Structure 1
Amino acid sequence: MKVLLAKTAGFCFGVDRAVKLTYQLLAEGRKVATLGPLIHNPQVVADLAEKGALTCEDLDDVPDGYEVVIRSHGVPARVYEKINTRGLAFHDATCPFVSKIHKLAEEAGKNGALLLVAGDAKHPEVQGIVGHTTGPVLVFAGEEELAALRPKIAQHESITVVAQTTFQVQAWEKCKTALKKWCTNAQIFDTICNATWARQQEAEDLSQRCDHMIVIGGHHSSNTQKLLQVAARHTTAITVETADELDRTWLQGAETVGVTAGASTPSSIIEEVLNCMSE
């Protein structure tokens, strides 16, 4: 059996930056609390906890004396205000691609424009984006939801459109095409990050050359699920969080198996899965 590993598999720039920062702070003996799980990978989060990092869902849960790490997903503007009010030391690991969207959201608010966000309304990145505009905002998960919002969108003269950095590229292109047909006054910004574009494109190409595709990543990872959707368009595909979840009988009879991984998947877990496949 031939195994083809995607070159783009594993940590993206933003996640790698946040993880290295947090480990460095812990190595320096700092008391560290992350706002929410640092990344969508339980194994990394558990390792950070063993080294003393706290995971706090709310700033009110952060004990005095702890330094706050803002994860790569970013946070709403009100969180920064609350941090300053409490006088907490903090380290901002918001991905630069996400910070760019925050600025667009702020500008939309200042200009009284409707902010239209393509993404998962429950995802922390989208919640952070929404929390950076003072104006009206609508979130849609795909072309159908966008079409359903058309009457509300039509009520606005000024519209700013952005996408969650890990949104599915093909779905985004369809949404843009639809918007350009009936919403000519919209300013559309391509905010899907470079890593997502490259990762999804490679999954698209790889899945067309393989009997099966394995996507390694956290079950709560948005970009991992998007990779699965891309791969499943062309071949049978599954996700595994760790090597323990891989059922090797699934690989029987396959000549070529492709492997990719989400942006929150460490190289150690990728190696474990590859080793399991070769046993």
Structure 2
Amino acid sequence: MTPRIEIARHAGVCYGVERALELAHRAGADALPPVHTLGPLIHNPRVVNELEEAGVQMANRLEDIPAGAVIIRAHGVAPAVEDEARERGLSVLDATCPYVKKVHVAAERLRAAGYQVIVVGEAGHAEVEGIMGHAGEGAVVVSGREDLDGLKLAPKVGVVVQTTQTDERLAAVVSALLPRTREVRVVNTICKATHERQESAAELAARADVMVVIGGRNSGNTRRLAQICAAACPRTYHIESADEIDPSWFVDAELVGVTAGASTPERHIREVIDRIGR
């Protein structure tokens, strides 16, 4: 018997990613001089390959872009990176997600007001690296309250958050900070789209026999969706494409829930649903 398939109320590509993709495709179609993204435009390998086919290449370093236009990816960059691109004579097309830009502004304001900036997020993640470039000297990345152990804190601490983090992780860090410093100022920069996807995924996973989470394995927000789903539904599978689906996953399942990360286009979701329904 074919199981019933239900898509999470909020799933798939968000506004910031959609905006970045439109900018990149437009740049490729306009036949500009060579167009490159600095790093993957978004964390979805399939989409990055599709962009390359459309004439938008990826470069990991500015040194690898001899001329033309460079697209600042949705995760944003530190100010010094954009300055260097202009110094090299490159045209800069900024695809930074507007919600990520809000984190940059919040970090800059906290720094200017004399706060030591704490960034709650994944060290080394592209978005976090960009935020750190705006947060100033003394800024620190923490992924959880345990990272605060032994950390020297200023009397005034300001907190911003990687847009794809959870409210629970932010709350845990803030509660650990409060007894250890004189003043804590928190700017909750978690993206509404992230919160909606996490909440609706959890609701569906609590009812489903099987959950399928679609999106890049290098995508932090997709991995968190998979973690949230697995906590409620042990039969949770994180895939990048419909080709990875194993029919044995759905044996005896009455309800299969489907959700997708914020970098997953609608057509990728439809491919998975079609494959499950065969």
1:186 is paired with a residue whose SS is strand
CA–CA distance in structure 1, aligned partners of residues 75 and 29 of structure 2: 23
**Which residue does the alignment assign to 1:88?**
90
How far does residue 267 in structure 1 lie from its aligned partner after superposition? 1.1
Q: Does 1:2 align with 2:37?
A: no
Which string of whole-angstrom CA distances, capped at 9 and with x for unpartnered residues, describes residues 242-264 of structure 1? Answer: 00111110110111111100011
Which string of whole-angstrom CA distances, capped at 9 and with x for unpartnered residues, describes residues 66-102 of structure 1? Answer: 1111111000110121122122211111111111111
1:36 to 11, 34, 39: 39
**Which residue does the alignment assign to 2:260?**
261
1:200 to 192, 198, 201: 198
Is the 2:82–2:92 contact (alpha carbons within 8 Å) kept by the matching residues of 1? no
CA–CA distance in structure 2, aligned partners of residues 232 and 88 of structure 1: 44
CA–CA distance in structure 2, aligned partners of residues 166 and 45 of structure 1: 20
**Which residue does the alignment assign to 2:242?**
243
Q: Does 1:119 align with 2:121?
A: yes
- The one-letter code sitting in structure 2 at the alignment partner of 1:275 is D
CA–CA distance in structure 1, aligned partners of residues 182 and 216 of structure 2: 39
Which string of whole-angstrom CA distances, capped at 9 and with x for unpartnered residues, describes residues 37-92 of structure 1? Answer: 1111111111111122120111111121x111111100011012112212221111
Is the 1:113–1:135 contact (alpha carbons within 8 Å) kept by the matching residues of 2? no
**Which residue does the alignment assign to 1:48?**
51
**Which residue does the alignment assign to 2:183?**
185
**Which residue does the alignment assign to 1:233?**
231
- The one-letter code sitting in structure 2 at the alignment partner of 1:38 is L
**Which residue does the alignment assign to 1:59?**
62
CA–CA distance in structure 1, aligned partners of residues 54 and 99 of structure 2: 29
- The one-letter code sitting in structure 1 at the alignment partner of 2:246 is D
Identity across matched positions, percent: 42
CA–CA distance in structure 1, aligned partners of residues 182 and 207 of structure 2: 39
Which residues in structure 2 correspond to 1:93-112 (within 5 Å)? 93-112=95-114
- The one-letter code sitting in structure 2 at the alignment partner of 1:137 is A
1:106 is paired with a residue whose SS is helix
1:131 is paired with a residue whose SS is helix
How far does residue 182 in structure 1 lie from its aligned partner after superposition? 4.1
2:31 is paired with a residue whose SS is coil
CA–CA distance in structure 1, aligned partners of residues 145 and 237 of structure 2: 25
CA–CA distance in structure 2, aligned partners of residues 41 and 110 of structure 1: 35
Q: Does 1:75 align with 2:77?
A: yes
2:139 to 121, 137, 140: 137
RMSD between aligned residues: 1.4
- The one-letter code sitting in structure 2 at the alignment partner of 1:176 is V
- The one-letter code sitting in structure 2 at the alignment partner of 1:262 is G
CA–CA distance in structure 1, aligned partners of residues 168 and 156 of structure 2: 25
Q: May I ask how many residue pairs the two structures share in their alignment?
A: 274
Is the 2:202–2:228 contact (alpha carbons within 8 Å) kept by the matching residues of 1? yes
TM-score (norm 1): 0.94
Unpaired stretches in structure 1, ≥5 consecutive residues: none
Is the 2:216–2:222 contact (alpha carbons within 8 Å) kept by the matching residues of 1? yes
Unpaired stretches in structure 2, ≥5 consecutive residues: none
How far does residue 124 in structure 1 lie from its aligned partner after superposition? 0.3
1:258 is paired with a residue whose SS is strand
1:120 is paired with a residue whose SS is coil
How far does residue 181 in structure 1 lie from its aligned partner after superposition? 4.5
- The one-letter code sitting in structure 2 at the alignment partner of 1:253 is D
Larger displacement relative to structure 2 (169-178 or 205-214):
169-178
CA–CA distance in structure 1, aligned partners of residues 111 and 131 of structure 2: 12
1:8 is paired with a residue whose SS is coil
CA–CA distance in structure 1, aligned partners of residues 229 and 178 of structure 2: 28
Is the 1:110–1:135 contact (alpha carbons within 8 Å) kept by the matching residues of 2? no
CA–CA distance in structure 1, aligned partners of residues 259 and 182 of structure 2: 38
Is the 2:156–2:181 contact (alpha carbons within 8 Å) kept by the matching residues of 1? no
